[in-house]
Amino acid sequence: MKTIRFEEISIKATRKWIDPSTGKKRQETKKFWQTMSPFNKDEHGVTKNGIQIMNEIRAERDTWLASHKED
């Protein structure tokens, strides 16, 4: 059986804050990724290219960062 490996496209994001209860610095890092595979298709059933994948994971990262902002 042959193993097939697909190229991974990824970015990481880190959010940093100071814990109000302890005054300590905290951080959280998350990796956002998708693979370039024939199974990764858009809403029209067409295989996604690298630019489409990068745009999607950037949008996902931006949403994650915005949802964790402290006022």
Residue-wise pLDDT for 19-35, tens only, equals 999 999 999 999 999 99
Per-residue confidence (pLDDT) for residue 59, from 0 to 100: 98
Domain of 36 in residue numbering reads as 7-67
Instruction: Please check whether residue 38 lies inside any domain of the structure.
Output: yes
Domain count, the chain: 1
Instruction: Please check whether residue 42 lies inside any domain of the structure.
Output: yes
Per-residue confidence (pLDDT) for residue 68, from 0 to 100: 74
Cα 25-26-28 angle, rounded to 5 deg = 155
65 C-beta neighbours (distance < 10 Å), count: 13
Per-residue confidence (pLDDT) for residue 6, from 0 to 100: 94
Q: What is the pTM of this model?
A: 0.81
* CA 13/CA 29 separation, integer angstroms: 6
* CA 48/CA 18 separation, integer angstroms: 39
Average of pLDDT values for 36-63?
Answer: 96
Structure tokens at 27: 């951080």
